[in-house]
Chains A and B, each alone.
Chain A
Amino acid sequence: MSRAKGYLPAWLYLACVVLVTGLGIAGAMALRPAFANSVKEFFGLQAAPVAAPSSFYLTRVAPLFEAHCASCHGERRQKAALRLDSVAFALRGGRHGAVIQPGDVKNSELMHRITLPPSDDRAMPPEGKTPLSPDDVTVIRLWIAGGASPAMLATAIKGAPRLVREVAIPTLDAEAARRQRQVLAPDVERLSRRYPGLLTYESRNSAGLELNAALSGHAFGDEDLKAFTPLFSRLVRLDLSNTAVTDASARLLAAMPSLRSVRLTNSKAGDDVIAALASLKSLKSLTVTGSKISQQALSQLRSHGVVIYGDGDAR
């Protein structure tokens, strides 16, 4: 073991290391704006941008990123080290640097990727994912052209395509309906023989049933309704107009969880029936023209979001 013979004292070398490392980090920050933003935000030198409520970003752009991009560039996965689930992440960029150049659509990598033909390997969203529509692309283009601001109000950007709310239409499973109908068949057959023409399926690929007791008029009473008990869970439409069904059947109606539409025109049903219907979550519409139902009972039903046709006892 001997004394070391060097050129620099250790403290001076340490200072050189700090200096060179600092210069290296500064150089990397200059070359990689995304890295620079991360470093600045880490040391609290720069606040991460936050989207304002009612901003164009939050109302128009963020839902598109969420629907089309976030599954690969979100909290769970960050492919290419890119996240698009917040405006701060989107502006920060990914492994290859910034993907959005505020105000510069032409040089924004994100814009470039989402406008590539689907056959291009680098097109986004990639093959197999839901593609952006031309209107979606326009929305993103307008946002970037407008400065990719997290705060700019939705109303401040002109020429954006109208916001289209997508409604998912449930698809019917014909095979499942066939199996469900097989279970119902004996009761449907028996009751169809006893009450000809009153019972039908709502559509070809559904096991939902419609009971149109109005065809029997006053001959159809509480006992008749009770006879359909085995099918209550499958009844989706019920027409008791002009029948003799009374409040005594209230508990029967409460046992029909699939009911979406009920007609009580000129029926003897009263407030008890309405109270029973209020417990049905799937009920959408009720017709009460010419009935004895009170406004108070109807207002309770309205508060559940049921559309009511007719005025009940308000005549």
Chain B
Amino acid sequence: MPDNAPKPGVYVWDAPTRLFHWSIVVLIFVSWLSADQGYMKVHLWSGLTLLVLLLFRIGWGFAGATTARFSNFLHSPGRVMAYVKTVLGGERQLHAGHNPAGGLMVAVLLLALLAQALTGLVANDGLKFSGPLALQVSVDQSDQLTQIHGAIFNFMLVLIWLHLVAIGFYLLVKGENLVGPMVTGKKHHAHVPEGVALVFTRPVIALALLALSAACAAWILL
């Protein structure tokens, strides 16, 4: 390739990770809208789908591509703080996948979503709808977990707000588009460390993991 030719983007996000991300975006919106408008059957199915995808993502965090693995993006609190200080100081650190602060955000969002999905299984709407496992707990416990289900949603709103603020910060202040790569899978070469070696997992593994996650969810429910 001639030196003056435009360098291609670097493939960092595999298809399963991107599909998971945008599916979660859609499912959170559908879950909120269906609960808000009282379409509880839709809410139930969006919640169950979310649970399956979360189980998949946990598995993908161990078996997926380099950038999807927890070992790649989970760092100690000290390292996260050091990264934040660096970024706010105007410096730039290059990461092929999630940066340390983003990794923390992913972990917290995944935990919040998992808690949301699990509490939803035993929650009730106070009318005629109860989660599929609501009968496994007492009415009081179901009511308490319903309150927690609502509180977690409010917490998630804060996390989503923070997520969007960070995306805007990277785009407008740091000049790095985080949304585009999550759509195409490719990052601008200038935002990826030189010589980084990424390993990708075969899509068939993702499909098998998804099937296993669906089976796990079915086992929990049946």
Asked if chains A and B come from one complex, the reply is yes
Cross-chain contact B147 with A7 (CB below 8 angstroms)? no
**Interface locus among A9-17, A46-54, A134-142:** A9-17
Q: What A residues does B86 contact at CB under 8 A?
A: 1
Residue pairs across A and B with CB atoms within 8 Å: the count is 67
**Interface locus among B41-49, B51-59, B72-80, B90-98:** B90-98
Q: What B residues does A39 contact at CB under 8 A?
A: none
The 8 A CB mask of B183-207 against A (1 = contact, 0 = none) is 0000000000000000000000000
Most buried by A among B38, B86, B147, B172: B172
Q: What B residues does A156 contact at CB under 8 A?
A: none
- Tell me whether A296 is interfacial, beta carbon within 8 Å: no
Cross-chain contact A122 with B173 (CB below 8 angstroms)? no
With A17-B165, A121-B127 as contacts: A4 and B38 at CB distance below 8 Å? no
Q: Tell me the minimal C-beta distance from B142 to chain A in angstroms.
A: 10
Q: Tell me the minimal C-beta distance from B170 to chain A in angstroms.
A: 9
Q: What A residues does B147 contact at CB under 8 A?
A: 78
Q: How far is the CA of A6 from the CA of B124 in the complex (A)?
A: 47
Q: What A residues does B92 contact at CB under 8 A?
A: 1-4
Q: What A residues does B146 contact at CB under 8 A?
A: 79
Q: How far is the CA of A143 from the CA of B212 in the complex (A)?
A: 57
- Tell me whether A72 is interfacial, beta carbon within 8 Å: yes
Cross-chain contact A79 with B126 (CB below 8 angstroms)? yes
- Tell me whether B5 is interfacial, beta carbon within 8 Å: no
- Tell me whether B8 is interfacial, beta carbon within 8 Å: no
With A1-B91, A3-B90, A4-B91 as contacts: A9 and B173 at CB distance below 8 Å? yes
- Tell me whether A290 is interfacial, beta carbon within 8 Å: no
Q: How far is the CA of A1 from the CA of B174 in the complex (A)?
A: 13
Q: Tell me the minimal C-beta distance from B30 to chain A in angstroms.
A: 17
- Tell me whether A190 is interfacial, beta carbon within 8 Å: no
Cross-chain contact A6 with B174 (CB below 8 angstroms)? yes
Q: How far is the CA of A10 from the CA of B175 in the complex (A)?
A: 12
Q: Which of B120-167 contact A (CB under 8 A)?
A: 124-128, 143, 146-147, 150, 161, 165
Cross-chain contact A95 with B36 (CB below 8 angstroms)? yes
Cross-chain contact B161 with A21 (CB below 8 angstroms)? yes
The 8 A CB mask of A55-83 against B (1 = contact, 0 = none) is 00000000000000000110011111100
Q: Is the interface of B mostly helix, strand, loop or mixed?
A: helix
Q: How far is the CA of A96 from the CA of B36 in the complex (A)?
A: 6
Cross-chain contact A8 with B173 (CB below 8 angstroms)? yes
- Tell me whether A5 is interfacial, beta carbon within 8 Å: yes
Closest B residue to A124 by beta carbon equals B127
Cross-chain contact B127 with A122 (CB below 8 angstroms)? yes
Q: Tell me the minimal C-beta distance from B129 to chain A in angstroms.
A: 9
Q: What A residues does B88 contact at CB under 8 A?
A: 10
- Tell me whether A126 is interfacial, beta carbon within 8 Å: yes
Q: What A residues does B150 contact at CB under 8 A?
A: 81, 95
Most buried by A among B124, B126, B147: B126
Q: What B residues does A8 contact at CB under 8 A?
A: 172-173
Q: What A residues does B125 contact at CB under 8 A?
A: 79-80
Q: Which 9 interchain pairs have the tightest Cβ spacing?
A: A79-B126, A6-B173, A6-B175, A4-B174, A121-B128, A8-B172, A5-B175, A4-B92, A77-B143
For the A-B complex with A79-B126, A95-B36, A95-B150 known, give 4 more contacts whose Cβ atoms are closer than 8 Å.
A4-B173, A10-B88, A13-B168, A80-B125
Residues of B within 8 A of A (CB): 35-36, 38, 86-88, 90-93, 124-128, 143, 146-147, 150, 161, 165, 168-169, 172-175
Residue pairs across A and B with Cβ atoms less than 8 A apart, 27 shown, are A1-B91, A3-B91, A4-B91, A4-B92, A4-B174, A4-B175, A5-B174, A5-B175, A6-B172, A6-B174, A6-B175, A8-B172, A13-B173, A16-B172, A17-B165, A17-B168, A21-B161, A76-B143, A79-B125, A80-B125, A81-B150, A95-B36, A96-B38, A121-B127, A122-B128, A126-B127, A126-B128
